[in-house]
Amino acid sequence: MHLATSPAFKQNARRALADPGLQKALARSGTSFIARRAAAAAALPEFEQLRDIARDIKDHTLAHLDFYLEEYEARMKAAGGTVHWCATADEARSAVLEICRTAGARTVTKGKSMISEELSLNEHLEQHGIQPVETDLGEYILQLRHEVPSHILAPAFHLNREDWEAQFRASHTELPADRIFHERRDILTEARARLRQRFLAADVGITGANFLIAETGSSVIVTNEGNGDLTQTLPRVHIVLGSIEKIVPTIEDCTSLLRVLARSATGQDFSVYTTFSTGARRPGDLDGPDGYHVVLVDNGRSAMLGTEFQDMLRCIRCAACMNHCPVYGAVGGHAYGWVYPGPMGSVLTPALIGVDQAGLLPNASTFCGKCESVCPVKIPLPGLMRHWREREFERHLTPPVQRRNLALWGWFARRPAMYRVVTRAAAASLGWFGRQRGRFARLPMAGGWTAGRDLPAPEGDTFFARYARAQRRGRVG
């Protein structure tokens, strides 16, 4: 597995804040996803109701997950496919390698799959003499750059156009070095031509799965590029990497989730290609793979059932939470140090690799609540991050200074009269000192906080005082 750099989140974040290329990319992309999602949601009057439905479908499925997985397996086998149940990442890597070896595979094309990142599958295949080729445009350049995705939807979110041009010049040496990329489209066209031969030469195609359908035994992928379809149609063998929580009962359930997925993700009404695969080539078919395998991965998910983190298993990987997150927007995805960045990663990563490794992530949140407000399956992300903070505290993983400060705050909070005196004094003095500029660029003992931003000055009053005054005047609001 990729060595997680999540324990170094603070150093990662500091480096990210000082990286001009990354900051340029974040500034450019920051608002476009937000505007597109808002427009798509506004154009569908039923959108909010559909979010409730999506949440309920996922909750129903998770409550009967064992049943639906067995039903799915039975239908899929009947359609001529093979299921490989894998409890751990190790088992999943071995299963994929074994299928590739049996197929005599030398090269493998791949559609975008975060499970594959979770398994570090590319390294594993390379170590065993099999060449993986990423075909999603963003994944393709990251493979050339030996980087990992910084976003679950747009893997190359952190790159700028000049990075693309430089990398293509460095990697595609058979083309004239002085060629000019007039527009972004020229970059895309070059990648298309390069990958075309790879698609045709591959022995095995590996895709992820956005959904697995129990009713029909189908796997579903959602893409815009068409690379996933070329990956699963042209080679002799198609391998689907799907984790256990991707299961949904019926096509109708899947359809309802699809209605909120693309709108939440890219702001499209529907993605370009939504493809349902059910087994291998049938008699008379002129194309399609001869073999169809589903590697069904648990890797820590079943252990989340029945805990306060079960709701996280509703996630359909739309990335709306990270697109709307001020922390992600400031430091980008790599700072989070493992496969899943942003708010969903801050909840999922501690569950999958341990809170001792990833305990800083749920702390890297302002709890502004934007992520929860846009989540298509209504995962209470800030609440779940708070649960991780509690666990971290209980297990004494919180740093001593923080524990001492929390204890100090707790001592005051349990003595309301004294709490009010102290906060009133603090608000009044900060308000007085900050009355000129309205904010502080620097504060004693808060240098770490104010290095990246200003602290707004209080207006001289506490909330308690204002509330009491308003109540006396007979209006609260």
Q: Which of residues 37-56 bind another protein (CB under 8 A)?
A: 44-46, 49-50, 53
Residues contacting another protein: total by CB under 8 A: 102
Among 138, 337, 345, 434, binds another protein (CB under 8 A): 138
Span 201-240, contacts to another protein by CB under 8 A: 214-218, 224-227, 229-230, 233-234
Query: Coil, strand or helix: which one is 1?
Result: coil
Decide if 336 contacts 387 (C-beta within 8 A).
Answer: no
Q: Does 74 bind another protein (CB under 8 A)?
A: no
Q: Does 99 bind another protein (CB under 8 A)?
A: no
**121 vs 313, beta carbon nearer another protein:** 313
**Cα–Cα distance, 139 to 109 (Å, whole number):** 12
**14 vs 194, beta carbon nearer another protein:** 194
Segment interacting with another protein (CB under 8 A) among 120-128, 204-212, 295-303, 440-448: 295-303
**Cα–Cα distance, 133 to 4 (Å, whole number):** 23
Q: Does 178 bind another protein (CB under 8 A)?
A: no
**8 vs 201, beta carbon nearer another protein:** 201
Q: Does 277 bind another protein (CB under 8 A)?
A: yes
How many other CB atoms are there within 10 angstroms of residue 50's CB atom? Answer: 17
* In the complex, minimum distance from the CB of residue 277 to another protein, in angstroms, rounded to a whole number: 6
Rounded to 5°, the CA angle 378-380-383 comes to: 175
Nearest CA-CA partner of 208 in 190, 234, 227: 227
Span 332-351, contacts to another protein by CB under 8 A: none
Nearest CA-CA partner of 64 in 250, 242, 252, 277: 250
**Cα–Cα distance, 418 to 406 (Å, whole number):** 16
Nearest CA-CA partner of 219 in 201, 205, 236: 205
Q: What one-letter code names the amino acid at 103?
A: A
* In the complex, minimum distance from the CB of residue 476 to another protein, in angstroms, rounded to a whole number: 37
Q: Does 34 bind another protein (CB under 8 A)?
A: no
**7 vs 30, beta carbon nearer another protein:** 30
* In the complex, minimum distance from the CB of residue 204 to another protein, in angstroms, rounded to a whole number: 17
299 in the Ramachandran plot: left (φ > 0), alpha (ψ -120 to 50) or beta?
left
Beta bridge partners of 101: none
**376 vs 458, beta carbon nearer another protein:** 376
**Cα–Cα distance, 346 to 328 (Å, whole number):** 11
Q: Does 149 bind another protein (CB under 8 A)?
A: no
**113 vs 218, beta carbon nearer another protein:** 218
Decide if 156 contacts 187 (C-beta within 8 A).
Answer: no
Q: Does 179 bind another protein (CB under 8 A)?
A: no
Segment interacting with another protein (CB under 8 A) among 14-22, 134-142, 203-211, 453-461: 134-142
Annotate 189-239 with DSSP letters as a single string.
HHHHHHHHHHHHH-SEEEE--SEEETTTTEEEEEESSSHHHHHHHSSSEEE
* In the complex, minimum distance from the CB of residue 166 to another protein, in angstroms, rounded to a whole number: 13
Among 3, 18, 286, 417, binds another protein (CB under 8 A): 286
Span 298-317, contacts to another protein by CB under 8 A: 298, 302-307, 310
**353 vs 430, beta carbon nearer another protein:** 353
Span 408-437, contacts to another protein by CB under 8 A: none
Q: What letter would DSSP give residue 272? A: S
**Cα–Cα distance, 471 to 359 (Å, whole number):** 41
* In the complex, minimum distance from the CB of residue 237 to another protein, in angstroms, rounded to a whole number: 14
Span 151-170, contacts to another protein by CB under 8 A: 154-157, 159-161, 164
From residue 442, alpha-carbon distances to 25, 326, 425, 432 in Å are 28, 21, 19, 15
Segment interacting with another protein (CB under 8 A) among 187-195, 339-347, 412-420, 443-451: 187-195
* In the complex, minimum distance from the CB of residue 33 to another protein, in angstroms, rounded to a whole number: 7
* In the complex, minimum distance from the CB of residue 434 to another protein, in angstroms, rounded to a whole number: 38
